[in-house]
Structure 1
Amino acid sequence: MNEIKVIEDYLFRNMKGEDVTLFEAQLLLNSELAEKVQLQKKVYHLIHQCGRNALKEEIQAIHDKLFIEPRYSTFRKRVLKLFFNQKD
């Protein structure tokens, strides 16, 4: 089986109990495999973080558009009134 797929199955908990036990035994005996698992884990973390950062930037752009551009002032006032009970 493809090593990357096996590592992925392990990291995403797609293995059955006995397969997990066998794979973890292999990790103890094979430092190269253990290093590959750690590297793949870091890659997934970085991909996840990159996606979060892109989403934050997109949300900030929407916020800036709706709450800064003058053409959306009516919308901005309605939202502020809703959340902060402000007068018009």
Structure 2
Amino acid sequence: MSFQTYLDNAEKQTGITPRGFLDLVAGRNLTKHGEIVAWLKTEHGLGHGHATAIARLATKGPEFVAEHHTGGVLHLDGLAARTGQ
């Protein structure tokens, strides 16, 4: 499963876009990968893989993730923002 697919599936499950998750993590002042994963699993019911993807996005930043995991293309504004979805 691609990194973007993990983000898209987390959005489908929760209704929260990747950018929305970034805002939520920042608002809670969560900075450590493990604490973000635990919070996402507990508060949002995400599985480990989906929570890990969002935690990596939050801790490493969108630019790093785009460069290292998605071939330079990363969609953070949700499925509805993309045409054809």
TM-score of the superposed pair, with normalisation by structure 2: 0.30
Greater fraction helix? 1
Tell which structure's C-alpha radius of gyration is larger. 1
TM-score of the superposed pair, with normalisation by structure 1: 0.29
